Amino acid sequence: MEEGVLDDNLNASVAHARGCFAGCTLCVPCGAAKPPHAHHCSACGACVAGMDHHCPFVNNCVG
């Protein structure tokens, strides 16, 4: 099974509390439900929807 993907044995109440249901992905570093095309930025410490890269010049994610 792919890392971060919920399996059928996961407690449904835990998945619901995290805003995620069977088949969606969870961010491994922060444990949040990730929308499609979101990535965790290690520089910002958060999941960013539509992230392309982290720009060190503006100290923000670009997407």
This model's pTM is above 0.75: no
CA nearest neighbour of 4 among 13, 30, 12, 59: 30
Indicate whether 6 belongs to any domain.
no
pLDDT at 54: 92
Q: Tokens 């410490």 label which residue?
A: 45
Using the predicted structure, report yes or no on whether residue 2 has a pLDDT greater than 50. Answer: no
- Of 27, 47, 55, 61, which one is the catalytic site residue? 55
In a domain, 56, yes or no: yes
Domain count, the chain: 1
Does 55 qualify as catalytic in the annotation?
yes
Token pair belonging to 13:
């109440």
Task: Please check whether residue 2 lies inside any domain of the structure.
Answer: no
Q: Which helix (H) or strand (E) covers residue 46, if one does?
A: strand 46-49
Q: What is the dihedral of CA 37, 40, 41, 47, to 10 degrees?
A: 80
Continuous segment of H or E residues that includes residue 14: helix 12-17
Note the pLDDT of residue 34. 79
